[in-house]
Structure 1
Amino acid sequence: MFKKLLNMSSSTQMIVAMLIGFAVGIFFGESVGWLSSIGTGVILLMQMTVLPYIVVSLVGGIGKLKPDTAKLIFSRAGVIMVSLWALGLFIIALMPLSFPFIESASFFSTSIIEPVADIDYFKLYIPSNPFESMAAGYVPAMVVFSIAMGLALIGMKGDNKIQLLSFMHTCGEIFGRITQGMVKVLPIGIFAMSASAAGTMGVDEFASMQVYLISYFALCLLLTFAVLPWIVASLTPITYWQTVQISKASLVTAFATGNIFIVLPVIVEECKKVLQQHNHTHEDTDTLIEILVPIAFTFPNIGKLTVILFVYFCSWFNGSPIEIIDQVSLSASGLLSLFGSVYVAIPFMLDLVHLPADLFQLFAMSGFITGKFNSIAAVMNLFVLTLLTAAMFQKNLKLFPPQLIKMATGLGVSVIITVAVCRLGMGLFIHSPETTSGVIANMQVADKVPTIVKTQYPQIGVTPKSPVANIDMIRQRGMLKVGYIPSNVPFSYYNNNGDLVGFDIAMASKLAEDIGVKVEFVPFKKKDLVESLNNGYFDIAMSGLSTDIELLGRLNFTNQVLELNYAIAAPDHMVKQFKTNESIAALEDATIAYVEHSHSVQEAQRKYPHLKFVKLSGYQVFFRQKDSKYDGLLISAEAGSAWTLFFPGYGITLLEHNVRYPVAYAVQSSNQSLLNYVNNWQQLRQVDGHQQQFYDYWMLGLGAKPVKPRWSIIRDVLHWVE
């Protein structure tokens, strides 16, 4: 059995390794999650020769060309190659339109407030220091440097050139032998990653992977059987069916083996035959084809470019769509990085658009499956490039308006149909994950102390007053009275069971527990806060209160409890319009709602006099609006994220320059005893980690959703483990 596995082709070994890995993962479940480390190690080993190989292959490949051949290829085949690249990148950028719409939201994440390093495009593309570019992994810069060296070598003569080319060729063979050795280990990595993924990946993640695989297969089939042969049929005398017919054997071989190199001789001969059928061949054309095909093979082809779709998928999967300007950068950088291995290009592109690097494992796990499909697109790309270049060489390329219109119409119709069918099909059969409103609506306060929750607001001048209670009076009374604002997610709100919960409710319960008393929650309105404290309706207000300049002196705020980030909540389709100061300034007839932060709103009114600001009684008024009366809402990013869990049709965006403000608790202005106690208590709970635990749970949602062990045979069928 073991000998049979060793005698299999590498592609077959990878398929077997994947299947065995899936079986192991499903059987053992999460206990094999550690295997991902082995998979990562194998992938890193595969990457070690890539950057040096880019240098020696490009320098040696371009440098050995004769000046006439180089001029012919770069002037004619180069134009067609670049045009095919541009078309391929454009279609790839359109394919995310086929991804099903998922109305989702998530808890606040600290990653959105972390500063994002700007991309230094000069270092990325210009190899001012080639050694630094190689050390930093700037693949595009390395490609530019290598091409420049290769072009310089073309015009050189003498033994030095021959020796250098021989050295490059020898290095290429060395790196090739190393890679061949690493390929023998690759099935182990595929097995490890497949087992880890099958053992730890949830159902929702598997469903999302279906989105990528289906759209990827559709993209490759679209390029192979519609876009590329239609270009030939539109611009040359060769028909669509002839193009498909001559490429059939090569397509089948490439798909079965995943190897393009072995079909290069077939591509050369089939191109010669089809040109002979149209009497468009002679010795010079045959020579051109024989030179062009192997050289074109060393450059990125459309099949290889299709892996960029994985980066678009990751952005969709991560809930952070790539902006148009970033798509241009991704396309250009992706093209240059794909002069090397995809195992270097994909992590580089993920980092370029600030996506988690660990998503690469999803690509590596599925790479040999998708590789069979991009192989057929690559083969068809070589056929089309060769036929178009030969037609241009023979001056038979029809670049007239009727042919161009025919080509554009066919391409447009095929792309639209493919995207529409994929979008409709995946929307019907691939169900999106359930919304997270149920998660936040079922969260509970862990610390249980005897609790009384009042729902009626005290009425100023009607509700009887009580003495302002210091810490000793609170202990004697046996009750801590805490003011709260209802529907102030995630600080104080009612869950599905009708319980009052939230970050500050948890903090208040902990405070009462530490004092050794019961807790009573009393609702209040922000405008009545000072009078309510003065009348003794409650001892302390704990409900996400911003430290208000207007209230300073009329009450006392404790030390800062949290520092929150200003943000704008808006319907999903309008979120982008509030991302920058320029986009906000360009808004017309927009109405911005706010609940608090009056001082900040006054400054905003002076800066944006064309905007209308309206004060609301509560955040729920904005999120429950049905007539689109308000375009945006000034809110903290933490609270806004929580509200979008209930209303996933809304999103948030941080204000430019990441403006922040403090929140604290409030006590009556003369209640110094309680103020001192709460300040010291809060400092203690910050140091011992209790406050951070509450923050992680209520703000970040850590532990909010019960994590069930991944289904596995060993646990759920055989019951060998708990």
Structure 2
Amino acid sequence: MANKIIIAMVFGLIIGFSTNFTLPAIELVGQGFVMLLQMTALPYISVSLIYGIGSMSRRQGKQLIKFGGLTFLLLLSAVLFFIGLSPLAFPDWSAAAFYSASNQAQAEPLNILELFLPANPFDSFAQAIIPAVVIFSIFVGLGFIGLEQKRRSLYVFRDIREALTIVTNLVMKLAPIGVFAISLNASATIDNNQLDGLMVYIITATSIVLLLTFIVFPLLVATITPLTYRQVLFAAKDALITAFATGSIFIVLPVIAENVKKQLSEYAKIHSEVKRLPSVVVPISYSLPVGGKLLAILFVLFAGWFSGENVNVSDYLSLMIFGVMQLFGSSMIAVPNLLDNANISASMFELFIVAEQLIISRLGALLSVMFITVLALLTTLLTINKVKFYLRPFAILTASAPICTMLIFVMLSAVFELISHPYQGYEKFINRNLLIPGAEARYLREPDSSQLTNALAQTQKDTLTIIKQRGFIRMGYYRDSLPYAFHNKDGLLVGLDIELGHLLAQELEVAIEFVLIYRKQTKQLLSNGYLDIVSGIPVTPKNLIEYNLTTAYTEEPFSLLVRDADRRKFSHWQKFIDKKELVIGVPEAYFYEASVSKNLPNNTVWELSTPRLFFQKQGENIDAMMYGAAGASAWTLLYPDYSVVTPKPHAPPFAIAFPVAHGDIAFERFISLWITMKQRSKTIDALYRYWIEGKEPGRFVK
């Protein structure tokens, strides 16, 4: 059967990759096979635990906890050791990323009580909350241990387990067909573009999984038990193939338990525990952070490297301890928490999902099968005292594991260095043009003094009338106001605010004039009627007093722009808020030095005429620059040796609004309603995706 499954998987992959063709019926066949396997998995876990634990004596239960716990810690340490070595293979690439709103998303906390305590066991079964089902079944089994007349009741659970095993074996006869359908559909629907940037993670994970699955774990069993390397692989073979094809460890748990019992059948005549222990260890292990689940920690290390927010070696131990605790639950909940704990951009979670869909879930299932198989084998053999040191496999293990590890990491480093990966963040940022064809426009590097007198004479008229008579709307913008206003590779003024200015001019059926100004000029140029509208500024109490602000069209979280090496210093407000030697830069177009100084009284605050000073020689003495997260992310694309840090606890985001002509409430009302209209039509959302997040905007209403 195993050979048939392998052949079916290979044929499915070849056909899928070569033709990129699939049918809904093929996907349905694959899904149907997985659902048939799922049908017996959860009941099997429960009845196996109840029967296995209920059949034990108290002494046997203590032995199970003792030997099972020691074996689990040994295997867990082995996996974490190799994961900790993995960053040695990562190449030295520059990295930075566009801003993503998910960067500021609060990670969903792990609710240990709901995960492990089955307040309603029937709901836990219905929702497939495996840890809660395991705990419920363990307690029922423990209840049986204390009963004197339990044999008849336990035989019922034994017979149900045997019936479920027969059903699983019947379903496995369909495995070649199901695996063929799954592999064909998966290979035919892979988006090659999703592989960009993930190859380092995928290749590293593949190397670690293969090393542990086919060298370290089998040789470990062969070193201290009578089982040979071949016997260990044979015990795991069917489950390995099916788990890799389906990407699920859950559905092969019955297969693992039965194959382990078959492999140990020669001891069953003397030791009755051999028939029970695998059926207890295997279901329990599924609720633990085993094998493939631990690849989530590898992803966090990769995400730190990939985003330029590397995890320090000194933080590895705390990351791994925190990760193991989190991975008692779902990795989909654990990874956002791990990223948040390591101060890595939450947008990396999107890459995690893509990687899982591509192949990592299959690799994780492969490693988990061998992890659980070895855990069941070692725990059972330790319990029946069939452990002995064998020199030959030990010599092979001690020689092959270090050599293979060294060769793998040397090869990975060499391969990654050969891969051409020029930094493209800067090019991606400045290579963008206006999304919508722009209005007729002219550009001034400073206010036209000859027009100031005429503007002052017209201040009694309403702004819309002036714009119509003038034939163009005049918009001020600030220098280096990334990503709201900047010059692209062709020298054209672009950005979110600039695009909105063009769109407004088109709908007013006039041209537009962009004028470069300084923040200190803003109030005067709006008051005397020279400017009609200015690029967005934060909505603060002082700005509300000084300017006639529209409704907010976007918002940004508070963040700090720091050098990569200083990320940890600014991860929490309490780490730096009292340090007088720290210098915080504040761009004049963003915040007021006085306001920031009031909130950071112990730090030195310097006002900067442009954010660019922070990256130049003049900014060498500045430790961090306060900025909005979206703008800060844009600057890291230009200067990838810098990172965006949002100190914890996260401050509320600040709104961004346009200052408009002073004293003209009607014009402010018009622009505010226009913004609301564009928000409801998703136009601003589309422009935000394009200019702020660097993504394709999709279709939208202009």
TM-score, normalised by the number of residues in structure 2: 0.77
- Counterpart position of 1:451: 441
- Aligned equivalents of 1:491, 1:204: Cα separation in 2: 28
Q: CA deviation at 1:307?
A: 0.8
Q: How does 1:414-433 map to 2 (within 5 A)?
A: 417=406, 420-421=409-410, 424-425=413-414, 427-430=416-419
- Counterpart position of 1:126: 117
- Aligned equivalents of 2:678, 2:275: Cα separation in 1: 76
Match of 1:195 among 157, 164, 185: 185
Q: CA deviation at 1:437?
A: 2.7
How big is the alpha-carbon RMSD for the aligned residues of Structure 1 and Structure 2? 4.8
Q: Call closer, same or farther: CA 1:157–1:426 in 2, change over 3 Å.
A: farther
The residue type paired with residue 690 of structure 2 is: Y
User: Where does the alignment leave 5 or more consecutive residues of structure 1 unmatched?
Assistant: 1-5, 273-282, 338-344, 398-405, 707-722
Match of 2:97 among 95, 98, 106: 106
- Counterpart position of 2:605: 613
Q: Call closer, same or farther: CA 1:217–1:526 in 2, change over 3 Å.
A: same
Match of 2:646 among 643, 654, 662: 654
User: Where does the alignment leave 5 or more consecutive residues of structure 2 unmatched?
Assistant: 241-255, 340-348
Q: Is 2:131 the partner of 1:150?
A: no
Answer whether contact 1:440 1:704 (CA < 8 A) is retained: no
**C-alpha offsets along residues 344-371 of structure 1, whole Å, 9 cap, x if unaligned?**
x666766876956993884685666666
Q: Call closer, same or farther: CA 1:162–1:691 in 2, change over 3 Å.
A: same
SS of aligned partner of 1:443: coil
Q: Report how many aligned residue pairs link the two structures.
A: 654
The residue type paired with residue 142 of structure 1 is: V
- Counterpart position of 2:17: 22
- Counterpart position of 1:713: none
- Aligned equivalents of 2:426, 2:627: Cα separation in 1: 19
**C-alpha offsets along residues 294-331 of structure 1, whole Å, 9 cap, x if unaligned?**
76566539999221244235544696999976743542
- Counterpart position of 1:13: 8
Q: Is 2:475 the partner of 1:467?
A: no
- Aligned equivalents of 1:254, 1:203: Cα separation in 2: 38
SS of aligned partner of 1:662: strand
- Aligned equivalents of 1:650, 1:674: Cα separation in 2: 40
- Aligned equivalents of 1:619, 1:559: Cα separation in 2: 26
Q: CA deviation at 1:34?
A: 11
- Aligned equivalents of 2:423, 2:31: Cα separation in 1: 31
Match of 1:511 among 499, 504, 512: 504
Answer whether contact 1:228 1:384 (CA < 8 A) is retained: no
Q: Is 2:241 the partner of 1:247?
A: no
Answer whether contact 1:217 1:370 (CA < 8 A) is retained: no
SS of aligned partner of 1:221: helix
Answer whether contact 1:92 1:309 (CA < 8 A) is retained: no
Answer whether contact 1:193 1:365 (CA < 8 A) is retained: no
- Counterpart position of 1:719: none
Q: How does 1:353-372 map to 2 (within 5 A)?
A: 355=349, 359=353, 362=356
Q: CA deviation at 1:98?
A: 5.0
- Aligned equivalents of 1:686, 1:39: Cα separation in 2: 42
Q: Is 2:195 the partner of 1:205?
A: yes
- Aligned equivalents of 1:144, 1:263: Cα separation in 2: 23
The residue type paired with residue 671 of structure 2 is: V
- Counterpart position of 1:163: 152
Match of 1:574 among 566, 575, 588: 566
Q: CA deviation at 1:619?
A: 1.8
- Counterpart position of 1:403: none
- Aligned equivalents of 1:134, 1:546: Cα separation in 2: 50
The residue type paired with residue 353 of structure 2 is: L
- Counterpart position of 1:94: 84
- Counterpart position of 2:205: 215
Q: Call closer, same or farther: CA 1:293–1:47 in 2, change over 3 Å.
A: closer
Answer whether contact 1:107 1:645 (CA < 8 A) is retained: yes
- Aligned equivalents of 1:156, 1:360: Cα separation in 2: 50
SS of aligned partner of 1:300: helix
Answer whether contact 1:62 1:147 (CA < 8 A) is retained: yes
- Counterpart position of 2:285: 300
- Aligned equivalents of 1:33, 1:441: Cα separation in 2: 42
**C-alpha offsets along residues 187-208 of structure 1, whole Å, 9 cap, x if unaligned?**
5466346535544422451762
**C-alpha offsets along residues 327-346 of structure 1, whole Å, 9 cap, x if unaligned?**
43542464x67xxxxxxx66
The residue type paired with residue 494 of structure 1 is: H
Q: CA deviation at 1:65?
A: 2.2
- Aligned equivalents of 1:153, 1:138: Cα separation in 2: 23
Q: Call closer, same or farther: CA 1:547–1:54 in 2, change over 3 Å.
A: same
Q: Call closer, same or farther: CA 1:138–1:647 in 2, change over 3 Å.
A: farther
Q: Call closer, same or farther: CA 1:518–1:671 in 2, change over 3 Å.
A: same
Q: CA deviation at 1:559?
A: 2.6
- Aligned equivalents of 2:292, 2:382: Cα separation in 1: 24
Q: CA deviation at 1:566?
A: 1.7
Answer whether contact 2:477 2:516 (CA < 8 A) is retained: yes
**C-alpha offsets along residues 571-621 of structure 1, whole Å, 9 cap, x if unaligned?**
334334434333444768433221148877656545544433222111222
Q: How does 1:680-719 map to 2 (within 5 A)?
A: 680-703=673-696
The residue type paired with residue 74 of structure 2 is: L
- Aligned equivalents of 2:453, 2:31: Cα separation in 1: 67
Q: CA deviation at 1:498?
A: 0.7
Q: CA deviation at 1:433?
A: 8.1
SS of aligned partner of 1:307: helix
Worse-superposed segment, 523-532 or 183-192: 183-192
The residue type paired with residue 359 of structure 1 is: I
Q: Call closer, same or farther: CA 1:452–1:230 in 2, change over 3 Å.
A: same
- Counterpart position of 1:644: 636
Q: How does 1:237-316 map to 2 (within 5 A)?
A: 247-254=228-235, 257-258=238-239, 261-262=258-259, 300=285, 305-315=290-300, 316=302
The residue type paired with residue 467 of structure 1 is: A
- Aligned equivalents of 1:579, 1:350: Cα separation in 2: 18
- Counterpart position of 1:481: 474
Answer whether contact 2:593 2:606 (CA < 8 A) is retained: no
- Aligned equivalents of 1:521, 1:476: Cα separation in 2: 18
Worse-superposed segment, 246-255 or 119-128: 246-255
- Counterpart position of 2:343: none
Q: Call closer, same or farther: CA 1:9–1:61 in 2, change over 3 Å.
A: farther
Q: Is 2:45 the partner of 1:64?
A: no
Q: CA deviation at 1:441?
A: 0.9
- Aligned equivalents of 1:149, 1:122: Cα separation in 2: 19
Worse-superposed segment, 610-619 or 528-537: 528-537
- Aligned identity (percent) is 20
- Counterpart position of 1:710: none
Q: Call closer, same or farther: CA 1:566–1:192 in 2, change over 3 Å.
A: same
SS of aligned partner of 2:640: coil
Answer whether contact 2:529 2:662 (CA < 8 A) is retained: no
**C-alpha offsets along residues 463-497 of structure 1, whole Å, 9 cap, x if unaligned?**
86441453222222212221111221111000011
Answer whether contact 2:439 2:511 (CA < 8 A) is retained: yes
SS of aligned partner of 2:455: coil
Worse-superposed segment, 586-595 or 369-378: 369-378
- Aligned equivalents of 1:34, 1:435: Cα separation in 2: 41
